[in-house]
Structure 1
């Protein structure tokens, strides 16, 4: 009985850590978030009006999704999934910020 309980507990805990089907894993989300934030930063440096940047940014975003071969709908669904847990989002954004700092320090943009 104890062995059965331990096995069940392990099975349940492993299932909690698995990303559901149709949801990007955390590594891929961080990659996308890094590129999205870099694109936002780039667009904000252009000497154009805010209305023009609102038109320009979606073009950059489309290129990011094509680069990563991820439909925007999958990204948005994944973002909604991860936003349900503040601890996970904190972890994702901490990794994103760390990656952006590394890119900034290395000069690779």
Structure 2
């Protein structure tokens, strides 16, 4: 019985050491960057509206809902993904570096 238990535990350990796949409710890095780019662009847009800050805070969630619809995700998937990536600061740093690069490219193409 003890040997079977050790064998079973060893099997689970080997499975957990396998490929590090994301669960279905976590966005992959590419999708996360796309969503972050849209979120930051929308935040910038809303901040340019000639309305009081309190009003813009009420307006932003409507835009955010549209972002999630555009990307076919729910707000809970985005929040879970954000929490997942925030656990590893190096990964989050890489995601934001890519997000900033994408924003720079969009800005540059808009200017030209």
* TM-score interval, normalised by the smaller of the two chains: 0.7 to 0.9
Structure 1 outlier segments of 4+, above 4 Å: none
Question: Which one has the largest radius of gyration?
Answer: 2
Matched residues in 1 for 2:34 and 2:52: separation?
A: 28
TM-score (norm 2): 0.81
Q: How many residues align?
A: 98
> Which structure 1 residue ranges, 5 or more long, are not aligned?
1-8
- Superposed CA offset, 1:54-107 (max 9, x none): 011001000000001100100000000000000000000000000000000001
CA distance in 2, matches of 1:55, 1:22: 27
TM-score between the two structures when normalised by the length of structure 1:
0.83
Residue 49 of structure 2 corresponds to residue 46 of structure 1: yes
Give the match for residue 92 of structure 1.
Answer: 95
Superposed CA deviations along residues 11-54 of structure 1, whole A, max 9, x for unmatched, are 93x623x2233111000000000000000000001111010000
| CA-based RMSD | 1.9
